[in-house]
Amino acid sequence: MVLWSYNTTPRSTTGESPFLLTYGYEAMVPVEVGDGSLRRNLFVEEDAKVNQRLHLDFLDEARMNSQLKLAAYQQRIVRYFNKKVKSVPYKVGDLVLRKVMPNNIIAQYGVLGVNWEGPYKVKAIFWKGTYRLEDLDDKLIPRAWNAEHLRKYNQ
């Protein structure tokens, strides 16, 4: 029942249900089949066949429109995200602290452990917001780090 409702509910991104985009027409909900409805009571088989052929002719257009709506939605999401992102430009040689990730937390300290570790030096900049770090003994840190997980070290 959950899968049925998921496939027959119109998505906010496309305005269409996956069922409509697959078969070309809206599905009848189980309640409508059991208790009856105006659509079921006024059903004429010949009209239904003609309407189904018409819907199938326009199915490619409906799919294209849903793709355009999806692309527009994704652009709105990107614009919203980029508006909220605050860039923190670090330069090579800057000292930064690195956020302690959940897989690196020392179990004996629990929630009272440190949240930031370091300081580390910025060794290289891959692209905007992504940095290669090294410790103060010039030992390279294994992976690149996003600026979201770094903050400026103030002595």
CATH code for the domain of 104: 2.30.30
- In sequence order, the 6+-apart residues with CB closer than 8 A to the CB of 65 are 16
Domain interval for residue 15? 2-84
What mean pLDDT is predicted for residues 16-32?
Answer: 80
| pTM of the shown model | 0.51
Give residue-wise pLDDT tens across range 64-83.
999 999 999 999 999 998 88
Query: Do residue 63 and residue 113 come from a single domain?
Result: no
CA nearest to 132, candidates 65, 140, 60: 140
Quote the CA–CA distance of 144 and 138 in Å, as a whole number.
15
pLDDT band at 108 (very low <50, low <70, confident <90, very high): low
Give me the number of domains the chain comprises: 2
What is the residue-averaged pLDDT of the chain?
84
Among 29, 49, 84, give the residue marking a domain's end. Answer: 84
Would residue 77 count as lying in a domain?
yes
Is 80 exceeded by the pLDDT of residue 112?
no
Neighbours of 66 (CB within 10 A): 20
